Structure 1
Amino acid sequence: MSTFRTIKRPEYTGENRCWLCTVVNVLLLGIASIAVAVVSPPVAVAVAALGAAGIWLRGYLVPYTPEFAPRLVAVLPRDPFHDEPRAEAGSLADGLADDAAIDRSVDGEAVLATLVETGIVEVDEEADQLFLSRPFERRWHEEMADLAAASDRDLADATAAVVTEAADRSIVTSRGRTHVVLEGESGAATDETWLQRPVAVAEVAAVRALTDAGVPQEVRRLAAEPLCTFLETCPECEEELVEGAEHGCCGTPRSATRAPRTVLRCPSCRVQFALFE
């Protein structure tokens, strides 16, 4: 059993499996098996069986696939096995090019300190854990329920009301997914913020609840994405959220000094809500 656990790599299998890497490794295994079959068919069968078992248990067969594969896939316009457009996944914290309401000099520790000072986040020092205060959590979920039931247009209007620098807003459906798109004054593609509908629901609701709680304006939008780490279910479909490797080819490039990044996402909507650094 200990040997089995040593061989198995859950960070690259199950929900975390990168199917692009799996397919590439299967093709390479097939080529190797055919080459061996020329010399010894029985050995080729053994190579194919052991290789397939390795891919199933580990997620890949070629050594260091998680190190080099993400860099290879990064040059593609999109990952064919993850249908989320790379340029279309955003947060209210991204802001627009001329968005004066976002102070990018404020770091995560300062945001957390403000949330603790205002009673939004409570600290259990003995357990070394953070919790949302019940009044805020209740208010946040009420706002999410209202926005989840709203039409796409009403949700876009609510999002634009939060991002005061937005010159225009629109609804874009891409590969079956609905996005709220905010445009800046310049109208350039680089001056846009794309939010998938469930993310817009969660983050706009968070800003509204933070406003009611008296949190300073300069912190509200910056706090919206970190607060999503406290979500347990998707505000859109109510599916239980799961933690897994960041979307893309085996997640992000890995090295001996950098661990794989973990995200909180909805397995049904395939939407990423938070990134754990």
Structure 2
Amino acid sequence: MTDSDRDLLSVLRNPEYTGENRCVPCTILNVLIAAAASALVGIVSRRGGVLTFAGSLAAIALRGYLVPGTPTLTKRYLPERILAAFDKHPLEERQREEPGQSTEGEPEIIDEFERQQESAVDPERFLLEVGAVEPCKTQDDLCFTDELADTIDDRVAGLPEEPLDRALVADLYGIEPESVTVEDRSYPAVKIGRRIHKWPSEAAFAADIATHQALSELTERWTDVPQAQRIELLEVLRSFHDSCPTCGGPITMSEDTIESCCRSYEVLALNCEGCSAPLLEIDPNEIGGADGGVEP
């Protein structure tokens, strides 16, 4: 394929309804419409029917639909249970890890997952026992202890200007720096093995690194927590910060609507007010209890 061919395809392709944004129910509906239309043409001309179907599939592949308006109509009128069967929650799509293509070593991955499940801790109990959190003084919730909050602030202040450092990431995941590859993306992302680990902003990355360092200094038990659960805990603990780790401004919570391929979702979003850096998005349906949600 020549460069001019690639340029033409990029012009024809509609990223709003293709790739990760493709609506599977809408695609199926359009393929059925294409098949029906091609069958009608095929009554008159078999060759014409084949060409019509091929052209229709090409249009669906490049544009995401054959009949304009079907993505909106599909989202609006198809039953919720059908949309849910094909949909993926956008918070899952934005999760820290993206799987690679290779499936080598899956038995080892399953064994490691089972070992980590057996060693998992009760998050709230663990954080209370090691003195990381305590009941808030002004509200019925949990907050960082003053000691841990001060240590986190010190660690944030000590981070390099470019916080996405291989050594910092390696310490976070308990691996060698040579195993970390920094990805060239608009948000912090690294590749470890076959997986991409990502954060919504430099502020979120700085919060995780500083909190990890502070907890490591607070208790030796922190490194005994399974690595996957430590990462989940750090993500939840971003909501415990009083100020933005990068710009120092207040952290605000708002209700946002985010779009998946097929549906809209309401989420609670934590953002740095001063620099608009996103810290965390929470599905309100998954918040449990009044304990600050320390349940990854």
Gaps of 5+ in 1: 1-61, 92-96
Q: Of residues 114, 133, 142 in structure 2, which corresponds to 1:130?
A: 142
Structure 2: how far apart are the matches of 1:265 and 1:98? 35
Retained in 2: the 8 A contact 1:201–1:235?
yes
Retained in 1: the 8 A contact 2:172–2:212?
yes
Structure 2: how far apart are the matches of 1:269 and 1:98? 38
Change (3 A) 1:126 1:242: closer
Retained in 1: the 8 A contact 2:258–2:267?
no
5 Å matches for 1:69-88?
86-87=93-94
Is 1:265 aligned with 2:275? no
Retained in 2: the 8 A contact 1:100–1:165?
no
Retained in 2: the 8 A contact 1:121–1:132?
yes
Query: Who is 1:208 aligned against?
Result: 213
SS of 1:140's equivalent? helix
Query: Who is 2:68 aligned against?
Result: none
TM-score, length of structure 1 as denominator length: 0.52
Larger Rg: 2
SS of 1:115's equivalent? helix
Retained in 1: the 8 A contact 2:96–2:196?
no
Structure 2: how far apart are the matches of 1:207 and 1:182? 19
Retained in 1: the 8 A contact 2:254–2:270?
yes
Query: Who is 1:275 aligned against?
Result: 282
Structure 1: how far apart are the matches of 2:220 and 2:233? 10
Change (3 A) 1:202 1:126: closer
User: Once the 2 structures are TM-superposed, how far is the Cα of residue 262 of structure 1 from its aligned partner?
Assistant: 1.4
SS of 1:143's equivalent? helix
The one of the two structures with greater contact order (alpha-carbon pairs below 8 A, sep at least 6) is 1
Query: Who is 2:170 aligned against?
Result: 160
Structure 1: how far apart are the matches of 2:257 and 2:118? 27
Structure 2: how far apart are the matches of 1:99 and 1:234? 38
Structure 1 residue runs of 4 or more that deviate by more than 4 Å after TM superposition: 97-102, 104-108, 124-127
User: Once the 2 structures are TM-superposed, how far is the Cα of residue 206 of structure 1 from its aligned partner?
Assistant: 0.7
Query: Who is 1:112 aligned against?
Result: 124
TM-score, length of structure 2 as denominator length: 0.50
Q: Of residues 239, 244, 247 in structure 2, which corresponds to 1:237?
A: 247
Q: Residue type matched to 1:170 in 2?
A: T
Retained in 1: the 8 A contact 2:271–2:280?
yes
Q: Residue type matched to 1:162 in 2?
A: L
Q: Residue type matched to 1:239 in 2?
A: G
Q: Residue type matched to 1:233 in 2?
A: S
Q: Residue type matched to 1:103 in 2?
A: Q
Structure 1: how far apart are the matches of 2:257 and 2:220? 32
- Paired residue total: 190
Q: Residue type matched to 1:111 in 2?
A: P
Query: Who is 1:146 aligned against?
Result: 158
Structure 2: how far apart are the matches of 1:159 and 1:121? 24
SS of 1:261's equivalent? strand
Q: Residue type matched to 2:182 in 1?
A: I
Q: Residue type matched to 1:243 in 2?
A: M
Overall identity of the aligned pairs, in %: 16
Change (3 A) 1:127 1:244: closer
User: Once the 2 structures are TM-superposed, how far is the Cα of residue 265 of structure 1 from its aligned partner?
Assistant: 2.2
Query: Who is 2:190 aligned against?
Result: 181
Structure 2: how far apart are the matches of 1:131 and 1:227? 9
User: Once the 2 structures are TM-superposed, how far is the Cα of residue 126 of structure 1 from its aligned partner?
Assistant: 9.7
Structure 1: how far apart are the matches of 2:146 and 2:156? 15
Structure 2: how far apart are the matches of 1:107 and 1:204? 21
Structure 2: how far apart are the matches of 1:112 and 1:169? 31
Change (3 A) 1:99 1:230: farther
Retained in 1: the 8 A contact 2:163–2:206?
no
Structure 2: how far apart are the matches of 1:125 and 1:135? 15
SS of 1:103's equivalent? helix
User: Once the 2 structures are TM-superposed, how far is the Cα of residue 135 of structure 1 from its aligned partner?
Assistant: 0.6
Show CA shifts across 1:75-104 (max 9, x none): 8xxx9xxxx9x55x528xxxxx68959935
Retained in 1: the 8 A contact 2:257–2:267?
no
SS of 1:248's equivalent? strand
